[in-house]
Every structure is written in C-alpha cells, then in structure tokens.
Amino acid sequence: MASFKNIEVADWVALRIINFLNDAQVVEDITSHPALKDHLHTGSGGITIGPRVAARIIQNKLALPYRRYCSLSELEGIQGFGEDKFKDLVYSFGQSASEYFKKAMYNGIIMDNWVLTDHTVFFDNEAAFLRVVNDTSNFKEWVGYQVELMQQAYPGRYADPKAKGLLVQKSFMEVFAIAHYGAIAFAFYFYQFDADNWFSFDSVRQECEKYLSYNTANRYRLELRMFKGFNAEGLRATSTIQGTLPVVVNYGEKSIALWNAQLND
C-alpha cells in the first residue's frame, strides 16, 4: 500500500496519480484534466486543484532528482496541497476499471437498448488471487462456479446452474495479454450481436483498449481471457445467444470480471 500523510491507497491507484502528475507539463494539464473531479464528501464545492497549487506541484516535480514523482510521499509539504486535494485525486483516479469501462461504453458508444453488466469479484488476499489466475485448471473451475452463481439469478429458465458451470470449464480459453489485441477481440464480441455494425467498430475497440490499458505497469495489468464455444444464454432474464464469454483479470485491483451483454432490438 502507498500512502500520503498516513492516508493509505492501493498501489495501482498511487501509480495512476503519479503518472497523471508526471505527464503534466503545464498548469492546465492538471487543472483542466477531464478525469479530475471533486470528492463528493470531502471536496470544496466543485474546486479540485487550482492553478497556484498545480504550479507548485509542477515546480516541486522539476526540483526532484529525476524531475518526476516516484512516490506519493514526495507530494507532502507542497503548500496548499492537503488531504482534501489528495482525496480528490484518489476519487478521480481510484475508480475501478470495470466501472470506468461500463460508464464509457454508455457514453455514446452503445445505446440504452443494450444491457451491459459485469460480475466482478475482488480478492482481499493476493496469494489466493494468484492461485486462481496463474493456474488454468483453477481459473476455469473458479469461472465455472461464478457462472453457476450468475445462472442462479434466473432459476429454472434455462440449463441447470451446475451444468452451465461445467460447460464453461470445457470451453476453449484464449488469452490476450496485450491490450491492443485483446481490444480487437473484445470489440468483435460486441460486433457479433449486430453484424450490420450500426455503431463504429473502431470506437468500441478504442474504449476496449482504454479499459485493458487502464493500469500501465505490467504488474498491475489487465488481461482478457475469452471462453469460446460457451453459450451465454440464460445469464440474463432474456435470451442472450453469444458463443463467447469475456473475462478480464485485473492484477492491479486483484479482481476478475465476467462480462455479459444483451441487445434488445
């Protein structure tokens, strides 16, 4: 865990904050950044980081040995940069990747006739998370159990939940460790719902790539794992016949997200 004045945050959140501040070359790169938001409960009425404090952040960075921030502790002592502004940064850059992706997709990429849901599980214990994601058999068994839980939300509608879980375990799993290639595969998943491509394939691919590139460091990477030949019918209230189940492993958040979509024409 990283910390600022004894306020602890996850390492992946700290890295996103540090990258944001290191990328800033001028004051406006901080004050006008679209991701920067005022914390709902600790903010100061819509004000985040103003130009004076932003200038001090940049000046402090340029005075450091490598002219860049390496830890959150290097922000301590900057005049006007206190707990409230730090919490604004955490609030702005600490959103989970799944939340970010869903909001981005509904922001003009897909319309309200789509239902896009994620079944995301967060692990408290890193060792337990790695036991699941680093072993193919363990991972397939874990995903199968989660599919059972998803199926149980609509009891008696389609297959027996346990049978559905076993089906996904027998599916072929293709792993995309590079965000660019994973984004193409994930975008094609959406394209198959409506092959006449009424939305821009490239706009979907771009959002998928932003999602899979959410954390830049390799140790905090996101990895797409596609279960192919799996019929996702029954994982929603109405039929969703799709031969692929997208699953995203997030090493930074220690989470696994099973994605499910439905297009209501």
Instruction: Tokens 């019929």: give the residue.
Output: 231
The predicted pLDDT at position 165 comes to: 81
The predicted pLDDT at position 168 comes to: 85
Nearest one of 218, 214, 256 to 35, comparing CA atoms = 214
Residues 109 and 233 in one domain: yes
Does 246 have pLDDT greater than 70? yes
Whole-number Å distance between alpha carbons of 6 and 37: 22
The predicted pLDDT at position 158 comes to: 55
- pLDDT, mean of residues 112-140: 94
Residues 208 and 109 in one domain: yes
43-53 pLDDT, tens digit each: 555 668 999 99
188-199 pLDDT, tens digit each: 998 888 766 567
Residues 79 and 199 in one domain: no
Whole-number Å distance between alpha carbons of 160 and 164: 6
57-111 pLDDT, tens digit each: 999 999 999 999 999 999 999 999 999 999 999 999 999 999 999 999 999 898 8
Residues 204 and 123 in one domain: yes
Residues 88 and 133 in one domain: no
Residue 79: phi and psi, rounded to 5, are -60, 130
Residues 58 and 127 in one domain: no
Domain extent for 198: 97-263
Using a pLDDT cut of 70, give the percent of the chain over it: 88
Residues 82 and 131 in one domain: no
Give me 200's structure tokens. Answer: 């821009």
Whole-number Å distance between alpha carbons of 212 and 117: 17
The predicted pLDDT at position 239 comes to: 45
For CA atoms 90, 94, 95, 100, the dihedral sign is positive
Residues 56 and 133 in one domain: no
Confidence of residue 163 (pLDDT cuts 50, 70, 90): confident
C-alpha neighbours within 13 Å on the C-beta side of residue 66: 6
* Number of domains, the chain: 2
Does 233 have pLDDT greater than 70? no
H or E segment at 83?
Answer: helix 83-93
The predicted pLDDT at position 192 comes to: 84
Residues 156 and 244 in one domain: yes
Nearest one of 70, 84, 74, 114 to 259, comparing CA atoms = 114
Which of 93, 112, 147 is the last residue before a domain boundary? Answer: 93
Residues 112 and 77 in one domain: no
Give me 123's structure tokens. Answer: 């692990």
Report yes or no: 231 and 34 within 8 Å, Cβ to Cβ. no
Residues 85 and 165 in one domain: no
